[in-house]
Amino acid sequence: MEDKALVTPYYLIDERRLLKNLKVIKYVRDRSGARSVLALKCFSAWSVFGLMKEYLDGTTSSSLYEARLGHEKFGKETHAYSVAYSKEDIKEVAQFADKVIFNSVSQLERLAPYAGSAAKIGLRVNPGVSYSNFDLADPARKFSRLGVADKRALLKVLPRISGVMFHFNCENDDFKDFSSNLDHIARNYADVLGRLDWVSLGGGLYFTRAGYPVEKFCAKLREFSERFGVQVYLEPGESVITQSTELVTRVLDVVHNQIDIAIVDASTEAHMLDLLIYRQPAKIDRLRRGRYKYMVAGRSCLAGDIFGTYSFKSRLRAGSIIRFFDAGGYTMVKKNWFNGLKMPSIAVKKLDGSIDVVRRFTYMDYKASLS
C-alpha cells in the first residue's frame, strides 16, 4: 500500500512493472544479439537507472544535455545524436560519447573533425519508409529534415562513418509492418550496410507489449545482423517504461455544465503534454469504471486542459483520488511550469514494495526556472 502521507500530484514509477519490460528487452538481446540503448527523449528519470542499466546497454540522446546525463547517471554506452549540433556541442560531447551520430552530410563534414578520435562516427539515414499514426511524428513525412535521404550523398561519405541510424517507427506494435520496412531497407541499402560495423534501427517499436511476436522479432533482427555482419542497436523508450508509471491526482472540485466535470490538481498542459499534442485521452484503470460519468479536467486556465471522459464506480467529490496509468513516456521529460502550477513529485515504488519520494518541487524551483 502507498503511504497516505504522499501528497498529490505525483508520478509513481513502479520498479516491478518496469522490471517486466526490462526482462523482455534482455531476452531480445540474448536471442537476437541486438543491443538496446534507452532513448532519453522519452524517459530520463535517473533515479531508476540503477535497475535499468542491469538490462540495457546504455543510452541514446537527442541533445548535448541528454547525452551528458546518460554518461553521468547511466554509464555504459553513450550514443549522442542531435538534429543539429553546434561546434560547442560537439566539442563537449566528444569528451564522453562512444558514438556521435550526425543528422546530415553537411553537419558531418563540418563538425566531425571536432568529435575527437575516440568516438565512432555515424549518420542518420531517412529510408523513405516509416510507420506512424501521426504526421507530426512521422520521420519520413514530406520535406522531412530527419536524416539523409540522398543515397548518393551517403555513399560519398561512407568511408568516414562506422554506422548508420534508421529511425523509421513511431508507436509501431505491428511486427509485419516492421518486417516489411526492414526488408525495404535491406534491399535498398545492401551496398551500404555491408560496409558498416553497426546499424541502429531506432525506437518506436512496442515489442514489450503483451502478445507481440517476440520470437519472430528476434529471428528477424538476428537474420539482418548476420546477413550484413553488423551489430544491431535498438533505441527503445516507450517499450522500456510502458505500463510502469502512474500520475496520481486528487479531485479539487466538481462542477456541472451539461456534464459533471471533476477538476484535479494536475494539468495535461503542464504534466502530460503529449495528450494535448496528439489529442489523446489519458488512460485510467478499466476495472474501476462504472456508472458515474465525469469529464476529468486539469486545473490550468487552458480551456482544453482535459484528461478525458470516464465512468467511475462511485461519485467523485473533492478529495477523490484519480490515477492515470501508463504515464511514464514523454511526460516527465516534457513537464513545465505553465500557470506556475505545482509540479508533481516523483516517487519510486521499489522492488521490495517500499516507496521512496526521490524529488519534490518547490516554489524555489519555479522561481529558478525563470529570471
190 and 237 inside one domain: yes
Which residue's C-alpha cell is 517504461? Answer: 241
**Which of helix, strand or coil describes residue 54?**
coil
94 and 37 inside one domain: yes
Q: Could you tell me the CA-to-CA distances from 364 to 8, 113, 127, 340, 342 in Å, in that order? A: 18, 42, 46, 11, 11
- pLDDT score recorded for residue 119: 85
Assess whether pLDDT exceeds 70 at residue 277.
yes
Q: Which domain holds residue 192?
A: 15-241
303: exposed, middle or buried (Cβ count in 10 Å: 0-12, 13-18, 19+): exposed
Widest CA span in the chain? 66
Assess whether pLDDT exceeds 80 at residue 289.
no
Q: What is the mean pLDDT of the chain?
A: 96
Tally of helices (H runs) and strands (E runs) in the chain: 13, 16
Please indicate, yes or no, if residue 5 is contained in any of the structural domains. Answer: no
Identify the bridge partners of residue 169 per DSSP, sorted by sequence position: 131
Assess whether pLDDT exceeds 90 at residue 1.
no
Q: What CATH number is attached to the domain comprising 349?
A: 2.40.37.10
Query: Which among 241, 274, 296 is the end of a domain?
Result: 241
- pLDDT score recorded for residue 133: 87
Of 354, 359, 361, 351, the C-alpha closest to 23 is 351
C-alpha cell at 299: 486545473
In this predicted model, what pLDDT tens digit does every residue of 94-142 receive, in sequence order? 999 999 999 999 999 999 999 988 789 999 999 999 999 899 999 999 9
* b/e code 250-279 from CB counts within 10 Å (16+ = b): ebeeeeeeeebbbbbbbbbbbbbbbbbeee
Angle 344-39-13 (CA atoms, 0-180°, nearest 5)? 35
Assess whether pLDDT exceeds 70 at residue 288.
no
Query: Which among 208, 223, 241 is the end of a domain?
Result: 241
- Average pLDDT for residues 217-239, to the nearest whole number? 98
User: Beta 289-297 vs 306-312: how paired, if at all?
Assistant: antiparallel
Please indicate, yes or no, if residue 3 is contained in any of the structural domains. Answer: no
Cβ neighbours for 354, distance < 8 A, ≥ 6 positions apart = none
**Which of helix, strand or coil describes residue 347?**
strand
In this predicted model, what pLDDT tens digit does every residue of 311-358 receive, in sequence order? 999 999 999 999 999 999 999 999 999 999 999 999 999 999 999 999
C-alpha cell at 177: 509492418
At 300, the pLDDT band (50, 70, 90 cuts) reads: very high
- pLDDT score recorded for residue 2: 55
- pLDDT score recorded for residue 117: 85
- pLDDT score recorded for residue 70: 98
Please indicate, yes or no, if residue 4 is contained in any of the structural domains. Answer: no
Residue 296 has a CB neighbour count (10 Å cut-off) of 25
225 and 284 inside one domain: no
- Average pLDDT for residues 74-79, to the nearest whole number? 97
DSSP secondary structure, 101-148, as one string: EESSHHHHHHHGGGSTTTSEEEEEB--S--B-S-GGG-TTSTT--SSB
Query: Which among 219, 241, 263 is the end of a domain?
Result: 241
**pTM of the model as a whole:** 0.95
Kindly give the residue spans of alpha helices, DSSP state H, lying in 189-245. 190-193, 214-228, 238-241
Q: How many domains does the chain have?
A: 2
* Phi–psi pair at 141, nearest 5 degrees: -65, 165
288 and 358 inside one domain: yes
Distance CA 317, CA 339 (A): 24
DSSP state of 74: I
- pLDDT score recorded for residue 290: 84
Q: Could you give the percent of the chain with pLDDT greater than 90? A: 95
125 and 253 inside one domain: no
